[in-house]
A = this chain, B = another copy of it.
Amino acid sequence: MTRQSRVHVRVVSPITTRGFRDVGVLKTLEYDGLTVSGSQIDVGPGSIESEFEIALSAPDTIARIIEAEREGVDAVVIDCMADPALRAAREAVRIPVLGPCQAGMHVAAMLGHRFSVLTVMRRLRAQFENAAALYGVTSRLASVRHLEIPVLELESDMAATLDVLAREARIAIEADGAEAVVFGCTGLLGCASALRERLLAEGFDIPVIDPIPNAINIAAALVRGGLSHSALSYPKPPRKNLPGYDRLNDLLFPGN
């Protein structure tokens, strides 16, 4: 078990739109002993709202994660609630790789009897139910509720976004039995405190999980504990021909 002085977590953005995730925001998540840095893919979708875009984001996300390990980073968080490339990237590196959805769902399951996911669009519902099944927490998922606001418009009217968040959280609590909520879009980063205040004012003292800060903190906890994902669950891929992905292959098998 390592007792290292500082932990360095890299947040990898699996979308190509520049400026969506302000690095300054990541810096506000640091504290004594924790460094947070960011990187971003060059090849892939402008944003992720579909399985199609998840698929296209994966190859370059894996490359960024291999690079992070090469640079000596201690752990990686993928900056998207679809956890794109999570399993593939874990095969490629030995430092912990966390998906904010997986980490958020497990923390929610620890803190409340049941939790709801508040996401942006109805089409993502199946995705979150599938995630809960894969992560083994289906029995803790109360519901998936959506705001019907596209990812890239979340910040254009923050007050309106917050109103809808509060309304859906209330329905999740009263109709679906939720006793904790997880944001279903990393684009909501930073709204957790505001939503929690609103809910508290209505008498609902429940955890509101902001998935990126949460995943960063859990990643740091794993590093502190000397833990990473199982190489039996995520064994290294065999070296083979990868036409069209030579650079990724070189990254994975350097010096070969």
List chain A positions with a Cβ less than 8 A from chain B.
1, 3-6, 16-17, 28, 31-34, 42-47, 49-56, 58-60, 62, 85, 87-88, 90-92, 96, 98, 102-103, 106-107, 109-114, 123, 125-126, 129-130, 133-140, 150, 173, 177, 179-180, 192-193, 204-207, 209-210, 213-214, 217-218, 220-222, 224-235, 237-238, 240-245, 248, 252
* Nearest B residue (CB) for A235: B123
Q: Are A52 and B43 in contact (CB under 8 A)?
A: no
What residues of B have a CB within 8 angstroms of the CB of A238 in the complex? Answer: 49-50, 150
- A55 CB to closest chain B CB (Å) equals 4
A240 with B110: in contact, given A85-B55, A133-B139 (CB under 8 Å)?
Answer: no
Q: Are B217 and A231 in contact (CB under 8 A)?
A: no
Q: Are A229 and B207 in contact (CB under 8 A)?
A: yes
Docked CA distance A88–B205 (Å): 17
19 contacts between A and B (CB under 8 A): A3-B31, A32-B32, A43-B243, A44-B244, A45-B245, A47-B240, A55-B85, A56-B248, A110-B229, A111-B228, A113-B233, A114-B126, A130-B134, A133-B134, A136-B136, A136-B138, A179-B230, A193-B226, A217-B221
- A19 CB to closest chain B CB (Å) equals 13
- A14 CB to closest chain B CB (Å) equals 11
Docked CA distance A242–B57 (Å): 9
Q: Are A46 and B230 in contact (CB under 8 A)?
A: no
Q: Are A45 and B242 in contact (CB under 8 A)?
A: yes
Q: Are B244 and A42 in contact (CB under 8 A)?
A: yes
What residues of B have a CB within 8 angstroms of the CB of A220 in the complex? Answer: 221, 224
